[in-house]
Structure 1
Amino acid sequence: MEKLKSFVRESYEEMKHKVSWPKYGELQNSSVLVLVASLIFALVIGVIDIMFENALEWFYNQ
């Protein structure tokens, strides 16, 4: 049990004093970047899906 207490205590100290947390503005910019990249990726995958759907539909109708 003492090892667990020591682990929690050391983890808390490390998170408080050794970790460099981003400023709010940096966090906001990173979040917007991830959102935009995710939307672009989703659109690309959606277009590829529609292309494959049309290609397979054309192939099976032949």
Structure 2
Amino acid sequence: MAGIVNYISESYNELKNHVTWPPYAEAQRLTVIVLVFSVLFSLAIWGVDTVFSSAIEQYFEWVKS
């Protein structure tokens, strides 16, 4: 149990004293960029999934008849 407390204490100290945090404006800009690319990537995956789904559906319709 002491090991976990020590780990949390050292992690907090590291984050507070040794990490260089970006300015708020830069963090906001980077968050928007990540959000935009996440939405675009999810739309691309949805599109590919839809195309493959209909291709497989057409294939089974073709095999069934």
Q: TM tier, shorter chain?
A: 0.7 to 0.9
Flag as ranges the 4+ runs of structure 1 deviating above 3 A. 1-14
Question: 1:13 Cα deviation (Å)?
Answer: 4.0
Structure 1: runs of 5+ lacking an equivalent: none
Task: Determine the structure 1 residue equivalent to 2:26.
Answer: 26
Q: Residues 18 and 55 from structure 1, CA distance in 2 versus in 1: closer, same or farther, beyond 3 angstroms?
A: same
Question: 1:2 Cα deviation (Å)?
Answer: 8.2
* 1:6-48 superposed Cα distances (whole Å, 9 cap, x missing partner): 7665544433332101110011011001100100110100000
Query: 37-46 or 1-10, which moves further after superposition?
Result: 1-10
What is the count of residue pairs matched by the alignment?
62
Q: Please give the TM-score of this superposition, normalised by the length of structure 2.
A: 0.73
Q: Please give the TM-score of this superposition, normalised by the length of structure 1.
A: 0.76
Task: Determine the structure 1 residue equivalent to 2:47.
Answer: 47
- How much is the aligned-residue C-alpha RMSD, in angstroms? 2.3
Percent sequence identity is: 39
